[in-house]
Structure 1
Amino acid sequence: MNIWKPLFLLALSAGCSTAAVMGQTRPLTLQEALQTGLKNYQSIKAKENYAKAATENISAVKREYLPDLNLAAQNSYGTVNGENGPTWGYKGWTTGASGPAMTSQNWNAAFGGLYLANISWDVITFGRQHAKVLAAKEQLNTNQADLEQEKFEQQVRIAGAYLNLLAAQRLRGSMESNLKRAEDLRHLIVSRALNGLTAGVDSSIANAEVSKAQLTLIDAVNYENAQRNKLAEMMDVPDQDFTLDTTFVTKIPNQLLETVSTQDSVSLKEQPLLRLFGSRISLSEANQQLLSKNAMPRLSFMGVMQTRGSGFDYDYGVANPSHFSQGYWSGVKPQVANYLVGLNLSWTVTDLWRTHAQVARQHYTTEGLKNEYNQTYNRLQHQLQLSEQQIENAVKKYREAPIGLKAASDAFLQKSTLYENGLSNIADLAQALYNINRAETDRDIAYNGVWQAILYKSATVGDLQLFLNQL
């Protein structure tokens, strides 16, 4: 019969410092294990950094509203031909005044200099900037909810690993006791066989029982090693021998959690996983609002202050084509200044059609997230009902296990006495040995199973204090 399956079915999904854990001089309490895991686990640290990044992103988005202030200096060499008149490029880096119109093309060239300060500011964005900030804030809320969900899940993993290791240690102790019983029994049987009181085949059967007990103990040690390694991984500390708090195998809560109530259902709304799904919905709605604002126009203020120099004299033209200098300094030194201010209203009308499809796409994404939220909420409600049933059944097993163990112990003592007096056979004695081993295993699982069931309900409700308050 496979005694490991019940333990695997009990397993849940996968300030004390790390140094204190490594140099353990007293039992490691569950609270200390939780604190160490929250402090060390890299996935939590990563999501803490993601939340910090989202916080900085809000500041970055807010600063996008600041005007663009540009400073520029330009030295050039070339010809001047064209028409008179000022020009300005959108969010312009430069302004210019062309040279005089000549009767024909010429290649007179000189140095020129341009020095300017330019400011461009989207004064009114018709809600676009506000929507960006709201989306950034919702991203922060989502990252923070993700962090809290990760912390909660990690606490549940640590608590589950703690209980599993404790059960494995108890199981290993039961297997050691079983081996000792088998060895004592073999000693008795061999002595009787040597004295001719029993058949020699009984010695072979006794040896087989000892070997079976040895193999079972090895399996128990392997399972304990795996659970110990799992707990060390969840705490992010080196693998080591843990001395755990035996509260979970010596008693159960005096007052177990009550059955499903309306309050339980309401509390599900504060479940970390549901809060994460809710924040994702809010983020999607904020992105949908931002996309809709992209179709709006923008009103921009622009201003330019410039000074310039030129190697061409003020009267350079058709009448005086030779009034220019090719000297570098005479061309680049500031000589005259100009300023230009204005407002620019721009609206890409075709964005109305582009954003319509984008908004519709985001709308369906939002609806999909709502569907996932509802599905998760319904699943948790069913899990809550199941957790109550598991607690009830675990308590029944807890109450029944000592009865079975006492009966198996009495039967083993009786069969041992009968066999010693020649009134029973080796097959009955071997069955009694198996029964007491099985009863001890059931006892270990039953004690631990009550706590596992309470932990399962706490994980479902999203409040680990429901579990910790029972300690």
Structure 2
Amino acid sequence: MSVNRLLWPVPVLAGWLLVLIQTAFAQPPSQLRTLLQQAPDRYPALKARAYEADALRQQSAVLRTARLPTLDATAQANVATYNNLTGMFYPTSLLPISGPPSTGNQFSPVTGTAAGLLMNWSPMTFGAVDSRIAVAQAELAVKLAQTADEKLRIQVATAQAYLDALLGDELNRLAGQNSSRTDSLLRQVQALVVQGLRPEVDTALVVTEFSRAEIEQINTRNRASEARLKLAEWLARPDTVLTLTDTTLLTRLPGGRGDTNTVAHPTEQVFQRQIDVETARVGQIRRQFAPRLTFWGTTYARGSGVDYQGQVNALDGLVFSRFNYGLGAHLLVPLLHGTERSALLTQQDFRVKAANEQLAQTRLTLDTQRRSARLLRQQAEEIARQMPRQVGAARQALVGLQSRYASGLVSLTDVLQAQYTLLRAESDQKATILAVWRGRLLEAYAEGNINLFLQVLN
């Protein structure tokens, strides 16, 4: 057996070992990223937008049916006066009338029946249907843009709620640590009082501070619960039991900016599509006054209780006695509508101009939001870089003052103040780190692309 054959499993085993090592040390997927991908599909408001878009998409199909012929059937039986006229006219809501004329006005009733089929077909609309379809498609584009805008808002609100819940849990944990520190201080003070090294009033001061720390923990727990309720609402979850696993967001700052955004903001796209709608309506107005050509055909039957000699046979009117048909073309040319057409076009022109100005205002607002989000994020980053020094100094000061208090060199008030300063510094550090993440989130929202935030999560 050759050496190569003996050694062939070694590369395979090495490859599998490398895969196992990479899997073991690979960073787990971000929980927030997963939630942001799932939240829009669960939120009822976005589902409503999607259904509205489906309805508008169906509107175009409905309008296309205007080119198809229609066929309507009708039948009736009646009792009416004897008087009648001969002839036929284009059938609208009235049925054609046939029969001999009466010799005079006779108001005695006779029976009559009628049934017929009426077909209408307008294969040539001179662009009227096309213009209506163009408006419907433009309105669909607006609804799709609004859906994308709503999806972005839901994702940003969900991320905000997640960060709030994460901070609420962390502040509750820090408040618990502060209660534990106060409890330890209380035992220390009680021991010193027993030894006669500290006055009895120090015990009362620490008990007061311990009670205040417990109340603070209750308040932070309630705020954390409220944040979880808001997160559950955005996630469309019936419960608030969700273990937040992206705790590293509390200890690290986001990395560099992701890829440059190349898409227009969804809000901007909404107003761009609205301009398209108003422009399409200009074409609809122009086609509104175009000629209309309709082909029609009808066949019908009549029965009358009056025969051709004018004799009344009441029950004979319940059966058909005359059968007819008719074919024709109907051309309608609107005349003397120039003033109305001009006024409508002028009105629509103002609407197009208004839509353009709304787009300009939206772009101005979005640009301001981008600048503001960038400034807030930069300010939060500068503060976050200073917070470790502040927390370290506050912790060192507390340890030193506790030692000096045990030696009788400082008062209990100094220790309590240092302990409160440490709690505030720890809380502000976590809030500042999350403020940087919020700044990144607001920048992504101002750019209209949530991926710019997702790229810095891992």
Please give the range of the TM-score, normalised by the shorter of the 2 chains: 0.7 to 0.9
2: distance between equivalents of 1:110 and 1:202? Answer: 114
2: distance between equivalents of 1:464 and 1:61? Answer: 37
Aligned to 2:412: 426
1:295–1:351 Cα contact (<8 Å) kept? yes
Amino acid of the residue matched to residue 388 of structure 1?
R
Aligned to 2:183: 183
Amino acid of the residue matched to residue 49 of structure 1?
Y
2: distance between equivalents of 1:325 and 1:101? Answer: 11
Amino acid of the residue matched to residue 58 of structure 1?
S
The one of 62, 65, 88 equivalent to 2:67 is 65
1:53 matches 2:39: no
Cα 1:251/1:336, change in 2 over 3 Å: same
Offset of 1:288 from its aligned partner?
A: 3.5
1: distance between equivalents of 2:297 and 2:193? Answer: 111
Aligned residues: 429
Aligned to 2:41: 39
Offset of 1:335 from its aligned partner?
A: 4.2
Aligned to 1:392: 378
1:349-360 to 2 correspondence within 5 Å? Answer: 349-360=335-346
Amino acid of the residue matched to residue 179 of structure 2?
L
Offset of 1:155 from its aligned partner?
A: 0.9
Offset of 1:252 from its aligned partner?
A: 2.5
Aligned to 2:174: 174
Cα 1:308/1:399, change in 2 over 3 Å: same
1:20-39 to 2 correspondence within 5 Å? Answer: 29-39=31-41
Per-residue Cα deviation, 1:135-156 (whole angstroms, up to 9, x for no partner): 1112222222222221111111
Cα 1:304/1:438, change in 2 over 3 Å: same
1: distance between equivalents of 2:277 and 2:157? Answer: 28
Offset of 1:181 from its aligned partner?
A: 1.3
2: distance between equivalents of 1:175 and 1:157? Answer: 26
What is the percent sequence identity of the aligned residues? 26
Offset of 1:27 from its aligned partner?
A: 10
Unpaired stretches in structure 1, ≥5 consecutive residues: 1-25
2: distance between equivalents of 1:81 and 1:213? Answer: 100
Unpaired stretches in structure 2, ≥5 consecutive residues: 1-27
Offset of 1:312 from its aligned partner?
A: 4.6
How large is the Cα RMSD of the aligned pairs? 2.7
1: distance between equivalents of 2:422 and 2:244? Answer: 26
Amino acid of the residue matched to residue 456 of structure 1?
L
Per-residue Cα deviation, 1:280-305 (whole angstroms, up to 9, x for no partner): 22223223432333233322222222
Aligned to 1:8: none
Secondary structure of 1:86's counterpart equals coil
Give the TM-score taking structure 2 as reference length.
Answer: 0.85
1:80–1:98 Cα contact (<8 Å) kept? no
1:28–1:242 Cα contact (<8 Å) kept? no
Offset of 1:101 from its aligned partner?
A: 6.6
2: distance between equivalents of 1:84 and 1:208? Answer: 107
Aligned to 1:467: 453
Aligned to 1:303: 297
Aligned to 1:19: none
Per-residue Cα deviation, 1:204-224 (whole angstroms, up to 9, x for no partner): 322222222222212211210
Cα 1:109/1:405, change in 2 over 3 Å: closer
Per-residue Cα deviation, 1:261-284 (whole angstroms, up to 9, x for no partner): 9x65xx4x5211111222222223
1:252-331 to 2 correspondence within 5 Å? Answer: 252-253=253-254, 255-257=255-257, 264=261, 267=262, 270-314=264-308, 316=309, 324=311, 326=313, 328=315, 330-331=316-317
1:124–1:299 Cα contact (<8 Å) kept? yes
Amino acid of the residue matched to residue 293 of structure 2?
L
2: distance between equivalents of 1:240 and 1:101? Answer: 85
Amino acid of the residue matched to residue 411 of structure 1?
A
Cα 1:156/1:80, change in 2 over 3 Å: same
Give the TM-score taking structure 1 as reference length.
Answer: 0.83
Per-residue Cα deviation, 1:408-447 (whole angstroms, up to 9, x for no partner): 1111111111111111222322221122112111221122
Cα 1:434/1:77, change in 2 over 3 Å: closer
1:81–1:99 Cα contact (<8 Å) kept? no
Offset of 1:75 from its aligned partner?
A: 3.6
Offset of 1:248 from its aligned partner?
A: 1.0
Aligned to 1:251: 252
